[in-house]
Amino acid sequence: MQTLKKLFAIFLIISGFLIITGCNNYVGTGQIQNVGMLVEGSIDDQAWGQKGYKGLQEIEKKFDVNVFYKEGIKTQQEVTEAVDEFVNNGVNLIFGHSSIYGKYFINISKSFPDVQFVYFNGGYHAENVTSLNFNSHAMGFFGGMVAGKMSDTNHIGIIAAYEWQPEIEGFYEGVMYENPEAQVHIDYVKDWSDQDTALKMYERMEDQDVDVFYPTGDSYSGNVIKRARKDGLYAIGYVSDQSYIDKETVLTSTVQHVDKLYTLAAEKFNEDELEGDILVFDFQDDVISLGEFSPVVPEDYQEKIEDIIKEYKKTALLPNE
């Protein structure tokens, strides 16, 4: 009887050790438990926010985990409260769907050492904070080439959100490379979603004979394209392939496949390969591309752009370099 008791005790000790070891191994290898996302604006903006939510849904399917999101999170206090709530729901991978989250995540990262924070297009990083950056200059360049080719008035307009957006300079360079006679009009909304301001800028540019528009914002890009369609003008889509709005109006789109990058980051985290760093992605990584071409863009010019992009993938050099 004493022997049986000893064997049973040993069994309990071994069982308990396996359970504890298993749990520690689960956390230590960085395997995903649950996933959260913070959005500065809305997931219904038809552009950046929507692509982030799609990426979150892909993670949910691929890894069979619970996912959570919160919209309109813009301050440090809101971020801290949201992260605390996520963690209480078993979240150990959190995406901040904007550059603003870099500093906020840095400020709280040491308080949540078991959480991996990921955000977009910023220069902050720490042991458990990773920045995923799109090299947007090239996509802007190729979109600018198409705009320069297709403008009849030689007046092209950029309705930008902020001055720091790399795609703006790239777009300007692409226009001038393709059409040195063109004039590029640029104005800044200073907000990702201010549709009223963006449309006022559109009207001013239309009065200046602009016939191709590049609205580089979230919620307002679709509205500008719809207005261009109504006025018989053209646009270059932004972040999403916006040809669905109107196949003729949208000459092409500069597409950032944010959803693919979400899945890639989740895979790296799950394999314990996502270290705090600043990572940069471009056409070569298949997370940036041009969207569908409008049928009004000549086929031989479409082929020219596609060939230039293939060469860029090989050399990482734009045609003006």
Mean pLDDT by 10 residues, the chain (321 residues): 41 34 36 94 79 92 95 96 97 95 97 95 93 95 98 98 95 98 98 94 98 94 97 96 97 94 93 90 95 98 98 96 92
Domains of the chain, by residue range, sit at 26-134+259-285, 136-256+288-315
Indicate left, alpha or beta for 30 from its phi (over 0: left) and psi (-120 to 50: alpha).
Answer: left
Which CATH number, 3.40.50.2300, 1.10.540.10, 3.30.70.270, 3.40.50.300, labels domain 136-256+288-315?
Answer: 3.40.50.2300
Amino acid 219: pLDDT: 83
Amino acid 30: pLDDT: 52
Beta bridge pairs of residue 132: 120, 279
**How far is Cα 79 from Cα 96, in angstroms, rounded to an integer?**
9
With 0.85 as the threshold, say if the pTM is over it: no
**How far is Cα 223 from Cα 290, in angstroms, rounded to an integer?**
20
C-alpha to C-alpha distances, 42 to 4, 73, 180, 306, nearest whole angstrom: 63, 10, 38, 33
**26-134+259-285 matches 136-256+288-315 in fold:** yes
**How far is Cα 135 from Cα 282, in angstroms, rounded to an integer?**
5
Per CATH, domain 26-134+259-285 is 3.40.50.2300: yes
Residues 6+ apart with CB under 8 A from 185: 155, 156, 157, 158, 205, 208, 210
Three-state secondary structure string covering 73-97:
CCCHHHHHHHHHHHHHCCEEEEEEC
Beta bridge pairs of residue 129: 117, 126
